[in-house]
């Protein structure tokens, strides 16, 4: 751990709902904690007893293989028991509300609820209704804080810092919780954020919270230290306001030609899964500038840190223990 | 544990199939064992090694989020490995019978099968075909013994006793395995049971086994110590013999007005999930007389006790160990 | 363990993709290792710490309850963490390729991928793309090596040897990965294999790799030491080239009459699940010559051995440790 043991308690939250409400110091503390957990994953016995006898429930009301697996593996690595609540098999189909369902699950002695939900604000709503920890694993178009944190972690790891970097987020900003969480986190840590995409998908209102907005990807390529390519939801491509796939690739796709006009050490990020040949050409996705798989690896360490810190805070023993 | 260590062995069954076949002493022993396990769930490390290296398989041929999660968590808390057999993904679709499927699973070294099945008698059938333990988690309209036990546990915990209490079970008694298991258990422990509901749903034949039967809910309210409101299956409401939802609520719904006419310390129970505003008004469900979430919590302790006792009996070492 | 500790390393493969590429010595080493693991399953605490802190992911793109459960239980028994990747809930639906999906899962720190896939060659393809271990749990009509190994294990256990035995494999050989893996394994260990079935389902080309091919089941019954009845895919029965179910039963079904004409100690095998009354009569399936449930039990031991040996080889410490 990079923090000194005499330091004051840096994390007192039992929920992680979004990055907007975190201080710069809190974010840095999560990243520092994740750094020490990342080492655990390199051991042959990839386990620490930090959450032994604790129960983590994955409540995914929207499917996401990667995020669900990442949280499950993170919890296992902390020696927690993990249980899955899959909507399709649940009594919410019988008309129960989210809160009713959650209170029932909580009554079984759950310590942490990891919630993925299609409604923005669902995690906040849940946190107000239960006594256990709530970790937001994506709520509608609102926030996806662990994605934001793992992106910050990856940038810091590869660039040595976040402050002062020029970071572009490219794609359907309007509908993206990843973009929102990245933007919040990057701003707190002092990066300069440019949002890039078709005008219909990148509202000018983002300028009011300090982001630069542009639809001229080629015009900003050369100044960027980091370019985060969002996944295009092909199912949304037929909606009005959306360009065709061909147009999108032409103006906003990252490919070899565009990469050549970037800084040589530009970091190309993507939250996955990649639409190869659409927002990201296959050779760039697999090339040396890409951090895609590293983001996945770091996601696990960040989620271990979040589960650990929230549980520690809930247990009222938020001491700065070595994991 | 409340039982003395010099006591004789009180549990020798390797299966729990129903409450009808249990003695009063056996039921009390499960409740006593559950009491000691309930304490485990209040610890920060919610685990005891009682079933370490044992395998529990959840075989749910009917979906039930709560019951399945409750058994899974109970098994985890006893340090067992839990594996899920989900019908939808199974070879029973290829025409295999339940027994064939179960024998194959048993051949993999399973210790306890937890069975939920739409056919009444399925658990008995299974118990006759395998050597491992079978725990009935609900078979058709026949029995749901762990629900019965957790209801008894909750009544005893809140009322200090079961004997001599006036208990009403309200709803679609005819089609309810919960009602049947509650009735059997309550009678064994000396409660006086009144079955309440529309005449089409509460057959007079229940009188032959000692229950009072009435369709006049309001007429019996004042004498009740416990009122157990069954869940109404809305999907059945269109069948003949069923009143409309509006009629049902009017005559059999528990609400603030009816609660006012009950004893002040009446215990309002519900097996969940609640149809708020139908069999139970939201304010009563969430009020101080309600034991709904406590039932969920107790369900875990009762299931730990059942898994532990059956496994112990199967292992031929049914000593009265401290859990 | 039957091998001496001074012996050289007998297993250096981190993948198990098929039996065709294994030497006789390698196959025997897996069987010997499985023998020592089989003992573990008879203990009351059915666990060894061999893979503690390791992660096994079950990637099943084709459903198979038994094989998936068998691998999950095998991994649990080795104290590994097991995680399930279910196709239906996955991003492969979003157009990702198998390799992309697998690389993402690998980036989360997985040690062993167990792959079931409808495409022949999928496991080889995957093994070429990831650094972790790959165990083939069935790829199209190509191979199902752990089934082949458990069949060899069962024959050796019941007959004391494999060499020199007359083994018939009966059914739809052309479309069966089980038949292919059994054939390869049996030949390596010196058995004489006869493939039996309708001419349309047992291509003469199998003769070029040393198998006898016949459609006269009754003509070869008397000489067989082992008869392996393949499962008939009823869904394929309507295709051209397939006999009717009635014809199939008449010429290729194993029943009491045919059993009477076999050697008294003939071993009747079936990979399960059995179509009772079609390829195998119920009384034969449940009779003393049948090894069906024993195969299931042995499958677990064989899969423990395979997971253990591949992981050990991957860890670069392929010492011949006592499990």
The predicted-structure confidence for B261-317, as pLDDT tens digits, reads as follows: 999 999 999 999 999 999 999 999 999 999 999 999 999 999 999 999 999 999 985
Smallest CA–CA separation between C74 and chain B, in Å? 9
A144 is catalytic: yes
pLDDT digits (tens, 9 = 90+) for C13-45: 999 999 999 999 999 999 999 999 999 888 888
In Å, how far from its chain's centre is CA B290? Answer: 17
Query: pTM of the full predicted structure?
Result: 0.93
Domain ranges in chain B?
Answer: 24-143+297-314, 145-291
Name subunits touching B (3+ CB pairs < 8 A). Answer: A, C
Query: How confident is the model over A142-169, as pLDDT tens digits?
Result: 999 999 999 999 999 999 999 999 999 9
Which stretches in chain A have pLDDT values below 50? 1-4, 89, 93, 318-323
Task: For residue range C49-98, list pLDDT tens digits in order.
Answer: 999 999 999 999 987 888 999 999 999 999 999 999 976 545 554 556 88
Q: Which fold has domain C145-295?
A: Rossmann fold (3.40.50)
Our CA angle for B36, B40, B43, nearest 5°, is 140
Q: How many beta carbons lie within 10 A of that of residue A316, not counting itself?
A: 9
Distance CA C90, CA B309 (A): 39
Q: How far apart are CA C176 and CA C185, in angstroms?
A: 15
Nearest of B233, B223, B170 to residue B197 by alpha carbon:
B170
- Tell me what pLDDT residue A322 has: 40
CB contact under 8 A, C94 and A296: no
Band of residue C239 on the pLDDT scale cut at 50, 70, 90? confident
**What average pLDDT does the structure give for chain B?**
91
Structure confidence at residue C317 (pLDDT): 53
> If pLDDT is split at 50, 70 and 90, which confidence band does C213 have?
very high
Domains C24-143+297-314 and C145-295 share a fold: yes
Residue of A55, A83, A104 to mutate for B, most B C-beta atoms under 10 A: A104
What mean pLDDT is reported for chain A? 91
Residues in C lying within 8 Å of B, measured between beta carbons: 41, 43-47, 63-66, 69-70, 72-73, 76-77, 234, 272-276, 293-294, 296-297, 299-300
Question: Can you give the pLDDT at residue A321?
Answer: 42
Q: Report the distance separating Cα A73 and Cα A70, nearest Å.
A: 5
In chain B, what percentage of residues exceed pLDDT 90? 81
Instruction: For residue A66, indicate whether it is catalytic.
Output: yes
Neighbours of B258 (CB within 10 A): 18
CB atoms < 10 A from the CB of A134, how many? 25
For B117-161, how does the pLDDT look when each residue is reduced to its tens digit (9 = 90+)? Answer: 999 999 999 999 999 999 999 999 999 999 999 999 999 999 999
* Residues of C forming the active site: 66-67, 94, 116, 144
Q: Which chains touch A (3 or more CB pairs under 8 A)?
A: B, C
Q: Does the structural domain A24-143+298-314 have CATH classification 3.10.580.10?
A: no
Of B83, B91, B101, the CB nearest to C73: B83
Residue A42 is predicted with a pLDDT of 85
Class level of CATH domain C24-143+297-314: alpha beta
- Cα B254 to Cα B279: distance, rounded to the nearest angstrom: 6
Q: Which stretches of chain A sit within 8 Å of chain C by CB?
A: 41, 43-47, 63-66, 69-70, 72-73, 76-77, 234, 272-276, 293-294, 296-297, 299-300
Please report the pLDDT score of residue A320 as a whole number. 41
Distance, CA of C205 to CA of B114 (rounded, Å): 48
Q: Does domain B145-291 have CATH number 3.40.50.150?
A: no
Domain range A145-296, CATH architecture: 3-Layer(aba) Sandwich (3.40)
* pLDDT at res. B96: 60
């Amino acid at each position: 751990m990079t923090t000194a043991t005499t330091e004051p308690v840096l994390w007192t939250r039992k929920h992680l709902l979004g990055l907007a409400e975190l201080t710069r110091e809190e974010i840095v503390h999560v990243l520092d904690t994740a750094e020490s957990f990342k080492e655990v994953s390199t051991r042959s016995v990839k386990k620490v007893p930090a959450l032994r006898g604790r129960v983590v429930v994955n409540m995914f009301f929207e499917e996401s293989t990667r995020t669900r697996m990442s949280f499950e593996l993170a919890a296992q690595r902390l020696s927690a028991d993990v249980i899955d609540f899959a909507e399709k098999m649940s009594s919410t189909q019988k008309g129960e509300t989210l809160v009713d369902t959650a209170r029932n699950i909580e009554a079984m002695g759950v310590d942490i609820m990891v919630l993925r939900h299609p409604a923005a604000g669902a995690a906040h709503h849940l946190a107000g209704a239960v006594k256990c920890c709530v970790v937001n694993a994506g709520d509608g178009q609102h926030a996806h804080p662990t994605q934001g944190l793992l992106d910050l972690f990856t940038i810091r790891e590869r660039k040595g810092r976040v402050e002062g970097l020029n970071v572009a987020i490219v794609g359907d900003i309007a509908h993206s919780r990843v973009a929102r969480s990245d933007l919040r986190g990057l701003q707190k840590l002092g990066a300069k954020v440019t949002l890039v995409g078709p005008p219909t998908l990148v509202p000018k209102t983002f300028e009011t919270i300090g982001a630069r907005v542009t639809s001229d990807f080629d015009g900003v390529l050369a100044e960027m230290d980091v370019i985060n390519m969002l996944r295009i939801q092909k199912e949304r491509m037929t909606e009005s306001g959306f360009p065709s796939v061909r147009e999108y690739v032409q103006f906003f796709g990252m490919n070899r030609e565009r990469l050549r006009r970037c800084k040589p050490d530009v970091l190309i990020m993507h939250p996955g899964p990649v639409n190869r040949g659409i927002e990201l050409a296959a050779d760039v996705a697999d090339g040396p500038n890409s951090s895609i798989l590293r983001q996945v690896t770091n996601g696990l360490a960040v989620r271990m840190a979040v589960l650990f810190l929230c549980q520690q805070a809930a247990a009222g023993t938020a001491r700065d223990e070595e994991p």
